[in-house]
Structure 1
Amino acid sequence: MNSYLSYKESITGMKYLNKRRINNIFLFSLLACLSIFRCINTSLYAQQQIQNLSFVNSTQKSVSFPFKFINNLIILPVVINDSDTLQFILDTGVSTSIMTELSIGDSLLLNYTRQIKIHGLGQGEPIDALHSSGNSFNVSSIRGTNQDLIILLQNVFNLSSVFGTRIHGLLGYNIFMNFIVEIDYSKNIISFHDPKTYNYKKGWWIFRSGRKNESLPLIIHETKPYILAYIVMNNGSRIPVKLLVDTGASHSLWLDTFSDSLIKVPEETIEVFLGKGLNGDIFGKLGKISEVQIGNFVFSNPIAAFPDSISAGQSMGLDYRNGTLGAELLRRFNVIIDYPNKKITLTKNSNFNDPFKVNRSGIDIETPIPELPYYVISHVRKGSPAENAGLRSGDEIKYINNNRAYNLSINDIYEFFCRKSGKRIKLGIIRDEYYFSVDIYLKDFIATKTSPNNKTWQK
């Protein structure tokens, strides 16, 4: 059964559904501070056949190409069933590739569709989606057939507006299971290698001068990659944790206090709106912990998110992990993710000692028309410099420090908001067709008790 899904039909719903079979899939996809956290139940994966991707040219051993890097996330070009080029976020936290939205004018030929219900974070009702099998995927010179795809029939995340560019979906497990994936976060280059022919560089996993690289065991459980690490809470307790390695999460660290009684929410936190789950809004707290240790690499004062169990609902603690390691930490390394050999290799890069980025303004923004430089405030944090200056959701940003907003990318704007505490940011605002300017003074929402000192343990 083939289905032709257009933009209009993706919004209005159920024209092409095979209603004889309805499955429930648990999916956690939390948009938070321009981050995506997700935790997808793999009951669907357990039913499907192994789906191989390979190089179009059977003699090819590897391919490398640049990627878009927006808010710590890797965006790759993907073609599905000979469609126009779509943009997908590379996401180790996703078991089955997901189509989150189609744009006006987009269309997609789908194979063998059936209706499913998706449950996720929040306390609302499950949403409708399509499960399509037997699709072809192309990523550069990589091609896969018989690929599964989940298509959300409601654009619940508005990823294109949040990231300022067209985002059509999430690309996950299938591409990792077939290749050794090398991510150069310092140059924004990604490489896919044939596991049968790839040779690690001599001494790659052996520490050299300065202990710059290390290989760690990668635990693959129900399609997702985990590592064992340590966190040090502010009371000094050192806790072993199992963390999901999530390239599709732009935060540093997410911790589940319900997974271990020793994991405590820090005393100094702020309550925040973390984002939207599939079934409603997600709230929680942000705070700094003392340290996180990954192998022999130690990071001081990382910012951790602690989702609220009530708004997060049924997902808390269900996948037997303590939290998530996101791309704000991963980008400090060049990373080799090796599912076939179950290891991950980390090499310090030029980002290693970067301070952890903090939005000190209290402003979240979106682009109502993606890829057009038209920026609107989507959320103002309570008690933040932005709220104290009288800014509101819906205000349009025209200028930032005398820079016209239309000359800036969404990344550029957040760079202004992440400057040092005490910096003045002058904004030109339009509200109800009235223009005015306002000054906000950036402020750390949580005090740092110790100075940042990212380091490598010397044994």
Structure 2
Amino acid sequence: MKNLLFFFIFLFCVPFLVVSQTKFKLQNNKKFDKVRFKLIHNLIIIPVEINGVELSFILDTGVGKPIVFSFLNERDTLKINNTEAYILRGLGEGDSFEALKSKNNVFKVGAAINASQEIYAIHDASLNFTPQLGIPIHGIIGFDLFKDFIIEINYSKRYIKLHDPDRYIYTVCDACETVNFEFYNNKPYVNAHVKINDIYVPVKLLMDSGGSDSIWIFENENLGLYESENYFIDFLGHGLSGSVYGKRSKVQELKIRSFTLNQVNVSYPDSNAVHFAKRLKIRNGSISGNVLKRFNMIVDYRNARLTLKKNRFYKDEFSYNKSGIELEHHGELLVLEGDNSTSSAFTNTTINLDLELKPSYNFQVKPAFTIVELRENSPAELAGLLVGDIVLSVNNRKSHEYKIHEIIRLFYAKEGDDIRIKVNRNGVKHSFNFQLKAPLK
């Protein structure tokens, strides 16, 4: 999606995980298999089948063992057994949490099957990332898939190819660049340079396809990795251990070999939120979906090799949310549709319905989009909007006619564009108008 930077991030600090003897294998002696994916907020969503149940997972180079979220009631639905408790820690301001480690699960991704896969099942009901993405997200998969294949990721055409590494042959590509991976705790790191305050600084960044941001930098004044003037404080996203806040700014350039991206969004997370991630002293941050999607790539863990080629997203502008509004899907709208093609929307959790029911009316349940964060002094906050407001319409179009990413896209439009928004606040409708304004000077 053009010019879209979503606020939601997936970043994890999990224990060191050794390579298992079990592995994914392509069936029917295939050389490769193509799997289509959805690209939502710069995140790759692939179909995964666990123990015969079809699910949707985020493909995340920054995570070790697969993670399944608790809202599935996974013991019953997925028939997960052979469990033992573990304590995991993720980014954010909250506490660590308990997960159940389960063995001998049957995983299927396209034509690739692992008949004895380990997973972590997280029981905390608050760790449900579906509201941020607008579609059901059941889990995350990363290292255990990447270690068994050479994986071609085509962001522009939205597919991955799982190649048998023993039969894959590299072709000559004059337009490509090859980057060497370095691995720590089964996670891939790449070397790059950022230009800050007119100085090029070498950085080692975790390759994190499970993050929707551009790059994260851990502030270090001694290395020149900091922004002292042109930044704004913002909500950066949800980690497994709570919300993450910090500075947002721009780096003048991000250089990966011969590829140079200009005016790239950068986030400097609060040091407390990334305390565990910074234990690896050589790490300077992460490179995530809003940069990675600008390349089609071949990811080769076996040979510690990443091949990059520019795609149609390469020249897209890096932009920020100019409204200050962060939305999530919370609850439902009860939509009343009449013969005159008009409709009224109500939240089934906050409105006492007092309707004159007529045979010609039909009721439908639609998702409700709620404001969950408001940037301080942003156009939306200054206009009078509040956290907890439930959006009923945007620019005279009813909210249930949008998908959540379509509303968010409007907040990344041109500076000065008008936004007209109607909300429900404690059962009372309010209308607001404001103009988009870039948060950086």
* TM-score, scaled to structure 2: 0.87
Query: Which amino acid counterpart does residue 107 of structure 1 have in structure 2?
Result: T
Which residue of structure 2 aligns with residue 330 of structure 1? 292
Matched, 1:49 2:11: no
Which residue of structure 2 aligns with residue 139 of structure 1? 109
Which residue of structure 2 aligns with residue 291 of structure 1? 253
**CA deviation after TM superposition for structure 1 residue 331, in Å:** 0.8
Q: Distance in 2 between matches of 1:185 and 1:276?
A: 24
Which residue of structure 1 aligns with residue 147 of structure 2? 177
Which secondary structure does the structure 1 equivalent of 2:232 belong to?
strand
**CA deviation after TM superposition for structure 1 residue 123, in Å:** 5.0
Q: 1:332 to 1:120 in 2, by over 3 A?
A: closer
Which residue of structure 2 aligns with residue 304 of structure 1? 266
2:216 to 228, 251, 254: 254
Q: Distance in 2 between matches of 1:319 and 1:51?
A: 31
**CA deviation after TM superposition for structure 1 residue 367, in Å:** 0.7
Which residue of structure 2 aligns with residue 427 of structure 1? 421
Q: Is the 8 A contact 2:204 2:285 kept in 1?
A: yes
Q: Is the 8 A contact 1:259 1:322 kept in 2?
A: no
Q: Distance in 2 between matches of 1:255 and 1:345?
A: 23
Q: Is the 8 A contact 2:13 2:89 kept in 1?
A: no
1:87 to 56, 67, 79: 56
Which residue of structure 1 aligns with residue 176 of structure 2? 213
**CA deviation after TM superposition for structure 1 residue 273, in Å:** 2.4
Q: Is the 8 A contact 1:217 1:344 kept in 2?
A: yes
Q: Distance in 2 between matches of 1:386 and 1:189?
A: 37
Which residue of structure 2 aligns with residue 195 of structure 1? 165
**Higher mean C-alpha deviation, range 168-177 or range 398-407:** 398-407
**CA deviation after TM superposition for structure 1 residue 363, in Å:** 0.6
Q: Is the 8 A contact 1:266 1:288 kept in 2?
A: no
1:213-362 to 2 correspondence within 5 Å? 213-233=176-196, 235-258=197-220, 261-318=223-280, 320-362=282-324
Q: 1:320 to 1:156 in 2, by over 3 A?
A: farther
Query: What is the count of residue pairs matched by the alignment?
Result: 404
Which secondary structure does the structure 2 equivalent of 1:34 belong to?
coil
Which secondary structure does the structure 2 equivalent of 1:86 belong to?
strand
Q: Distance in 2 between matches of 1:385 and 1:251?
A: 22
**CA deviation after TM superposition for structure 1 residue 391, in Å:** 0.8
2:399 to 384, 402, 405: 405
**CA deviation after TM superposition for structure 1 residue 303, in Å:** 1.0
Which residue of structure 2 aligns with residue 19 of structure 1? none
Q: Distance in 2 between matches of 1:253 and 1:98?
A: 24
Which secondary structure does the structure 1 equivalent of 2:45 belong to?
strand
Q: Distance in 2 between matches of 1:55 and 1:259?
A: 48
Q: Distance in 2 between matches of 1:373 and 1:260?
A: 48
RMSD: 2.1
Which residue of structure 1 aligns with residue 384 of structure 2? 390
Q: Distance in 2 between matches of 1:65 and 1:305?
A: 32
Q: 1:378 to 1:104 in 2, by over 3 A?
A: farther
Q: Is the 8 A contact 1:78 1:139 kept in 2?
A: yes
Q: Is the 8 A contact 1:258 1:317 kept in 2?
A: no
Q: Distance in 2 between matches of 1:124 and 1:328?
A: 26
Q: Is the 8 A contact 1:80 1:136 kept in 2?
A: yes
Q: Is the 8 A contact 2:60 2:208 kept in 1?
A: yes
Q: 1:164 to 1:240 in 2, by over 3 A?
A: same
Q: Distance in 1 between matches of 2:232 and 2:290?
A: 20
Q: 1:109 to 1:259 in 2, by over 3 A?
A: farther
**CA deviation after TM superposition for structure 1 residue 288, in Å:** 0.9
Which secondary structure does the structure 2 equivalent of 1:102 belong to?
helix
Q: Distance in 1 between matches of 2:392 and 2:33?
A: 41
2:34 to 64, 67, 87: 64
Q: 1:150 to 1:319 in 2, by over 3 A?
A: farther
**CA deviation after TM superposition for structure 1 residue 196, in Å:** 1.2
Q: Distance in 2 between matches of 1:279 and 1:138?
A: 29
Q: Is the 8 A contact 1:259 1:321 kept in 2?
A: no
Which residue of structure 1 aligns with residue 71 of structure 2? 102
**CA deviation after TM superposition for structure 1 residue 229, in Å:** 0.6
Query: Which amino acid counterpart does residue 192 of structure 1 have in structure 2?
Result: L
1:74 to 44, 69, 73: 44
How many percent identity over aligned positions?
A: 34
**CA deviation after TM superposition for structure 1 residue 313, in Å:** 3.5
Q: Is the 8 A contact 1:115 1:128 kept in 2?
A: yes
Which secondary structure does the structure 2 equivalent of 1:273 belong to?
strand
Q: Distance in 1 between matches of 2:273 and 2:181?
A: 31
Query: Which amino acid counterpart does residue 68 of structure 1 have in structure 2?
Result: K
Query: Which amino acid counterpart does residue 418 of structure 1 have in structure 2?
Result: Y
Q: Distance in 1 between matches of 2:116 and 2:102?
A: 10
Query: Which amino acid counterpart does residue 70 of structure 1 have in structure 2?
Result: I
Q: 1:143 to 1:369 in 2, by over 3 A?
A: farther
* TM-score, scaled to structure 1: 0.83
What are structure 1's unaligned runs of at least 5 residues? 1-30, 448-459
Q: Distance in 1 between matches of 2:297 and 2:246?
A: 30
Q: Distance in 2 between matches of 1:251 and 1:103?
A: 27
Q: 1:329 to 1:115 in 2, by over 3 A?
A: same
**CA deviation after TM superposition for structure 1 residue 256, in Å:** 0.9
**CA deviation after TM superposition for structure 1 residue 372, in Å:** 4.5
What are structure 2's unaligned runs of at least 5 residues? 333-364
Which residue of structure 2 aligns with residue 455 of structure 1? none
**Higher mean C-alpha deviation, range 93-102 or range 306-315:** 306-315
Matched, 1:378 2:372: yes
Q: Is the 8 A contact 1:156 1:278 kept in 2?
A: no
Question: CA-to-partner distance for each residue in 1:74-132, whole Å, 9 max, x for gaps?
Answer: 111111122x2111100000011111232479722113100111233345442221111
Query: Which amino acid counterpart does residue 150 of structure 1 have in structure 2?
Result: Y
Matched, 1:127 2:97: yes
Which secondary structure does the structure 1 equivalent of 2:330 belong to?
coil
Which secondary structure does the structure 2 equivalent of 1:386 belong to?
helix
